[in-house]
Each structure stands twice: as structure tokens, then as C-alpha cells.
Amino acid sequence: MDHKLFKDVVAQNIFYLRTKNHMTQYELGEKLNYSDKAISKWERGDAIPDVFVLKKIADLFEVTVDYILVPHSEQDQKRDTKPIKKIKNIIAAIAAIGVQTVALAIFVIVALYTDGALYLWQIFIYALPVIAIVELVFACIWSRKMYKIFLSVSLLLWGILLTVYFAIADYSMWMIFLLGIPIQLIIFFAFGIKITIKFSQKDHALIKKGAIKNSIAKYVQKKKGKSQISQNEEKTDE
């Protein structure tokens, strides 16, 4: 594979991964600490990102670096980008189920050898913070997606509050959950969760073009209005 063809292959793969994940060049540049012009150069095949950046792109889109470097047919692209993500999700799910399985085993053993198993079901509540910590570790190591980390931290918060509530065994302590509201808001803003309207670069260009047209139209209309007023003044003078 010659150098030009290699550039084109990398360019096509980066373009495919970006558009498949509904990202603009500007958004991808923000995540990689590069400008949208650099992303555009990569996707045109004018330049190739270095190895470190290729690894960041691979981690971001949950593919291997090799996937970015070799050509793919459309069917291969649809098939090859899914397995790694699926495997990671399966492992994370297995870990969560494993924690609950341990909790279930403790529940069964204690229930068989003791008579007072009335409040033993609470062990599943106590398992929630452990699950949250496990999922948080996976989210930080693998996906690094803010919404997954945010969900894991939120689950950890409410799991801890539930654990404290049931451990105290005082149902008048329900007001402890009120503490979770401001803490949840702090977590929300700390992770920078924003509800924004996202425009593509084409949309931005069209909006800008439309704004220019509108300003020109207003200017012309204003000029016409002034000329019409002057004409009316001349007629009244006559």
C-alpha cells in the first residue's frame, strides 16, 4: 500500500467513525484537543494523525488502532465496529450480575442457617454501591464517556444513601434522601452535562449565510424606506 492510498484509508475510516457516532469535526476536535481544521485535513487525506492521537481516536470510538489503518468494505465496517463495544458491555454486565450473585449466595446461606431472615433482603440494597463502583471503574477504564461515568457516580450516591437508610433501620430518617438532591445537582454540573442543540458545520454555514442575507435585506429595505420618505417630502414641497 503506497503512502497516498494509506492516507486515504485512514481518512475514510476516521470520517466513517465520526459520522457514525453523529459527531461534527468541531466536536471530535474538542475531544482530541485539536482544531476542526486538523480533523478536516485528516479526513481529506492531507495529513495523518500521529500514533498517540490514533490511539485516542480508537479508544474514543471503541475500536482498535488496526481498524483505522486498514481498508474496509461497508459491510465490514458495520460488522467490525460492534464486537469490541459488545464485549465490553457484556463484561460490565457480567460484573454487575456477579456482585448480585454473591449477594444472593450470602442471602441463601444466612437464610438457611438462621431464623431471623426478615430483613435479610436488604443485602441486595447494600450491593448497589458495590455495583456502582465496579461500573464506574469500567466506565473510566474503557468507555471514558461522561454520561456513563455520570450514571455510575449517581448510582453510587443513591446506593450509599439507601444503604445508610436501611442500616440505621429508622424509617423516620427518610429526610436523608433530601441530601441527595443538592449532591446530585453538584454531580450534574461537575460533569458538565448540558442539553444543547447541536448543529453540523453545514448548518452553521447555512445559518451564517442566512444571517448575512437577512442583514443585507434589512439594509436594502431601510434604504428604500429612506428614499421613499424623501420622495414624499419632495412631493409635498411642490
Q: Predicted confidence band at 138 (pLDDT cuts at 50, 70, 90)?
A: confident
Total number of domains in the chain: 3
Q: Assess whether 183 and 227 both reside in one domain.
A: no
Examine the fold and report which residue of 58, 80, 102 is the final residue of a domain before the chain moves on: 80
CB 157 within 8 A of CB 180: yes
> What's the CATH number where 16 sits?
1.10.260.40
Q: Which domain holds residue 38?
A: 3-80
pLDDT of amino acid 211: 46
Instruction: Tell me the pLDDT tens digit for each residue of 56-105.
Output: 898 888 788 888 888 876 655 555 555 666 777 788 889 889 998 998 88
Instruction: Tell me the pLDDT tens digit for each residue of 166-175.
Output: 888 676 778 8
Q: Is the pLDDT of residue 205 over 50?
A: no
pLDDT of amino acid 157: 92
Sole residue written with cell 434604504: 223
Instruction: Tell me the pLDDT tens digit for each residue of 144-156.
Output: 677 788 888 999 9
Mean pLDDT lowest for which of 95-104, 109-118, 133-142?
109-118
CB 79 within 8 A of CB 20: no
CB 163 within 8 A of CB 125: yes
Q: Assess whether 75 and 99 both reside in one domain.
A: no
Q: Predicted confidence band at 3 (pLDDT cuts at 50, 70, 90)?
A: confident
pLDDT of amino acid 101: 92
Dihedral through CA 139, CA 141, CA 144, CA 150, nearest 10?
30
Q: Assess whether 167 and 212 both reside in one domain.
A: no
Q: Is the pLDDT of residue 37 over 80?
A: yes
pLDDT of amino acid 207: 43
Q: Assess whether 70 and 89 both reside in one domain.
A: no
Q: What is the mean pLDDT of residues 9-20?
A: 88
pLDDT of amino acid 116: 57
pLDDT of amino acid 212: 44
Q: Is the pLDDT of residue 229 over 60?
A: no
Across the chain, mean pLDDT equals 76
Q: Assess whether 229 and 154 both reside in one domain.
A: no
**Which candidate, 159, 169, 102, 172, places its Cα nearest to that of 132?**
159
